[in-house]
């Protein structure tokens, strides 16, 4: 045997011995942690349980109950969280990781001028900040000109290359031709779009399947947009086109989120059978009743509405409320009165990532109780998004957890005081 062969064999043996030493022996117990907060938030019941603790084994919750009742295995690491409330990892239902605040760069300039590598770098930082804020799951509803980069970001997070929440991505979103995208250019030029244009049954079918091919977990369609003769919000797709999107998506086990701000756009999307309505800025009680009858929730994105006016100089609490914000207040109250299921989703990206708790605060400001808002951001979003392995603190579920200083069931602003985040049994560093 030559010297090079002997050297290669020695390296192989050394590697095998090293891997064997690192691998746990058969039947070896996984690492366990006991989290001991002041109280645990029971999301399904909407109550807090004082003196309870949570035992985590591997990436799952092993047991929950009064501290004295939990059998703690030898070698368990105890993490004390005095004066803190332990909640299920929060869920962000409407985000745009590939956008950053328009006060920094306009939407059109982000779509047309920022290099893809720059946008991916920003999104990587945004994902980390979101996770550190206690949001362990995020439904990202469109890359806004960044193509299918969200699917790659999701893969990088899943493989542990970068930190971030568990993602549900839609890639490009689907819009009717001429209804969306950077405008005001010489008609001779086809400028890059912020979404994928598609029309008719055949076109919609192809677009949905093409996005699934490129990694979409959900499908997003724009049921209306500001494309009326004078910039009014008008419907984009016909009911038949929307039904096609729903049918094709469902046949692959996927669901459809519909951007719809006006009443007719919402009505068409509801009749088509979408899973969620996004925004719902101006909806009649009759259409809200349709949503309730068909079990279709609203993701109101209250923050997304307000932040635009703040960017334009509105001093909230000082200046009169802009008509669009006042309308949002009335519409949201109508939704609550009708019994519409409310998801938590903020349209973050129009404002800084990591400040996602702003939406939960606004849910309370606009009429929900703190407990209702917390449920929207946990157990409700988990159910609506078909995530049976999270959203509550219960044995067998993912150990996705967040602890905040104080009690957010009494003071919702406590969500901004994050002390501890765990994702899949791994403690998330909060610095940096």
- DSSP states of 81-99 as a string? EEEEEEEEPEEEEEE-TT-
Which residue is associated with the tokens 């004295």? Answer: 68
Q: Kindly give the parts of the chain with pLDDT less than 70.
A: 1-29
**Whether the Cβ atoms of residue 130 and residue 351 lie closer than 8 Å to each other:** no
DSSP 301: -
- Tens digit of each residue's pLDDT (9 = 90 or more) over 228-257: 999 999 999 999 999 999 999 999 999 999
- In the chain, CATH 3.20.20.140 sits at 90-355
Q: Which residues in 225-250 are b (16+ Cβ under 10 Å) and which e? A: bebeeeeebebbbbbebbbbbbbbbe
Residue 62's alpha-carbon distances to 100, 122, 168, in angstroms, are: 38, 36, 26
* CATH annotation of 1-88+392-432: 2.30.40.10
- In the chain, CATH 2.30.40.10 sits at 1-88+392-432
Q: Where are the alpha helices (DSSP H) in 343-408?
A: 357-365, 370-375, 381-384
- C-alpha triplet 386, 388, 390: angle, nearest 5°: 110
Token pair listed for 430: 């909060």
* CB-based burial label for 197 (10 Å; 0-12, 13-18, 19+): middle
Residue 301's alpha-carbon distances to 95, 189, 304, 424, in angstroms, are: 9, 33, 5, 28
Coil, helix or strand for 57? strand
Give the pLDDT of residue 5.
36
Say whether domain 90-355 belongs to CATH 3.20.20.140: yes
- Tens digit of each residue's pLDDT (9 = 90 or more) over 23-54: 333 334 589 999 999 999 999 999 999 999 99
Give the pLDDT of residue 193.
87
Residue 191 dihedral angles phi and psi, to the nearest 5°: -85, 155
């Amino acid at each position: 045997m030559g010297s090079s062969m002997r050297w290669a064999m020695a390296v192989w043996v050394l590697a095998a011995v090293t891997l064997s030493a690192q691998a746990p022996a058969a039947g070896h117990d996984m690492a366990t942690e006991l989290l001991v907060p002041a109280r645990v938030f029971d999301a399904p019941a909407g109550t807090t349980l004082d003196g309870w603790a949570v035992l985590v084994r591997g990436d799952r919750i092993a047991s929950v109950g009064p501290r004295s009742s939990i059998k703690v295995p030898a070698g368990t690491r105890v993490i004390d969280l005095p004066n803190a409330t332990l909640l299920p990892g929060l869920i962000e239902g409407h985000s745009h990781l590939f956008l950053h605040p328009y006060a920094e760069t306009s939407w059109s300039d982000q779509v047309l001028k920022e290099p893809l590598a720059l946008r991916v770098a920003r999104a990587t930082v945004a994902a980390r900040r979101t996770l550190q804020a206690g949001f362990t799951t995020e439904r990202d509803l469109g890359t806004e000109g960044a193509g299918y980069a969200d699917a790659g970001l999701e893969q990088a997070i899943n493989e542990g290359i970068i930190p971030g929440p568990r993602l549900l991505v839609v890639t490009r979103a689907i819009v009717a031709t001429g209804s969306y995208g950077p405008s005001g250019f010489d008609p001779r030029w086809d400028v890059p779009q912020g979404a994928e244009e598609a029309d008719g049954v055949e076109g919609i079918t192809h677009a949905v399947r093409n996005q699934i091919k490129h990694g979409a977990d959900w499908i997003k369609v724009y049921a209306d947009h500001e494309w009326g003769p004078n910039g009014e919000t008008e419907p984009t797709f016909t009911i038949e086109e929307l039904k096609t999107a729903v049918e094709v998506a469902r046949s692959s086990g996927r669901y459809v989120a519909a951007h719809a701000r006006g009443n007719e756009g919402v009505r068409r999307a509801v009749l088509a059978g979408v899973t969620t309505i996004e925004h719902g800025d101006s909806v009649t009680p009759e259409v809200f009743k349709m949503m309730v009858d068909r079990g279709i929730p609203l993701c109101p994105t209250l923050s997304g509405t307000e932040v635009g006016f703040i960017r334009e100089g509105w001093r909230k609490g000082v200046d009169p409320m802009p008509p669009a914000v006042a309308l949002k207040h009335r519409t949201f109250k109508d939704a609550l009165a009708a019994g519409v299921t409310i998801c938590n989703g903020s349209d973050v990206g129009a404002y800084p990532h990591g400040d996602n708790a702003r939406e939960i605060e606004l849910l309370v400001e606009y009429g929900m109780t703190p407990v209702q808002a917390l449920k929207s951001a946990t157990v409700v979003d988990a159910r609506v998004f078909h995530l049976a392995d999270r959203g509550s603190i219960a044995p067998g579920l993912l150990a996705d957890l967040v602890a905040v200083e104080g009690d957010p069931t009494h003071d919702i602003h406590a969500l901004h005081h994050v002390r501890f985040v765990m994702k899949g049994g791994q403690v998330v560093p909060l610095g940096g």
